[in-house]
Chains A and B, each alone.
Chain A
């Protein structure tokens, strides 16, 4: 019982830490322009359009 609860606690703490770690490294995948247009960055393949 104690081992189970300890493990559950570690899993919970690990999940929270991972959540914040991922947030710290997250990069935007889309840009929203003033007219509400959205450009997905992984679709911008360097067309020379300056995005």
Chain B
């Protein structure tokens, strides 16, 4: 806006008069909003980075058990160690296991292994609990070479179920690190990073303008069925994304609001996540039927990608495209391939162990979560360029009609062959 004189015309839309077109930097309000968002997302990214490198997010025991009475005699505090406490806990475990076998009827005779009244436990602070969980999480070279690789690690638990004696499956440790660390942090970086990037682009570049301004004439871009299918899939995706984020990041995002809020949100999100799945599937299948043929790759796409869609400069036009340009095709195939994988892994998670064992279920959850966060990041970009990022783009999916100049600049071949060409044929 420095060297070009501006006028705002009757519509209030700024148009430069010297270069005969609208420029990205003309959208001052959008750019200020973009800058504010960029600062907010940069702050959130920094917060996430601190989280990422803050170190141990494992559960670390803080309290140690020790026996205070054993066989009716008081044990001096100095003499207490883990061994007596373990024996007391073992006795209690036997009692509970017995109770589990005989049933919880209050009339049942207590088994002989019942915890004696004189056997008491006390708790005290544990100096360095991270040593314990650290050893569980990662074996050092020495420990690793001593231990035989096993499918499962078993011991004695104080829970009245025999399968609670199974402490850990080594492959499940990989799953835990994958889901609680890798995917969670990768997702936060991808989503916040994309949000920052888009905000920064809006701030620095402004909206992608209709270079020649609005013509006042419109052409039909999408019919009712196409738009309804798009919104059916989009709204279902948003429902799945928001509930999925609540499931994956609820502890970070909602626990600060109170445990009651987390409980309510968690309950609704767990249910809601499944409720949006059928309509998402229907929408995706309809999109595949309607749009696959038009989204097959062509030579035009390479040219479009090489020029970055013409999005990053106001000089020159946009590369030629038919109904869908290469960017839209990438979005389409992300939705189709990513969506199908999400549906397959999601249905697997809805019906646990029907056709996969525990290892398979772990992979299904890792794949579901990993692709989900990537899809959210990708579709942030789609939502951005379809709304604030590009002047006139939202009209295509909202009302179905786009400005003729917009169509000429972004989908010239489609306008020539399919809109004007059909008119010519009809005449």
Contact = CB atoms under 8 A, between A and B. Distances in A.
Interface of A: 1-4, 6-8, 10-11, 14-15, 17-19, 22, 33-35, 37, 39-40, 43, 45, 47-51
Contact of A1 (B104, B235, B398): B398
A38 to B, nearest CB: 9
A12 B162 CA distance: 44
Interface residues of B, number: 35
Contacts of B231: 3-4, 6-8
B275 A4 contact: no
Nearest to A32: B104
B424 interface: no
25 contacts: A1-B398, A2-B224, A3-B228, A3-B230, A6-B228, A7-B234, A10-B279, A11-B239, A14-B236, A14-B276, A14-B278, A14-B282, A15-B275, A15-B276, A18-B275, A18-B277, A19-B275, A22-B274, A39-B100, A39-B104, A40-B161, A47-B100, A49-B101, A49-B103, A50-B103
B164 to A, nearest CB: 8
Nearest to A7: B231
A49 B279 CA distance: 44
Contacts of A14: 236, 275-276, 278-279, 282
A4 B105 contact: no
Given A7-B228, A7-B232, A11-B232, A48 B101 contact: yes
A6 B245 CA distance: 26
Contact of A3 (B100, B164, B277, B400): B400
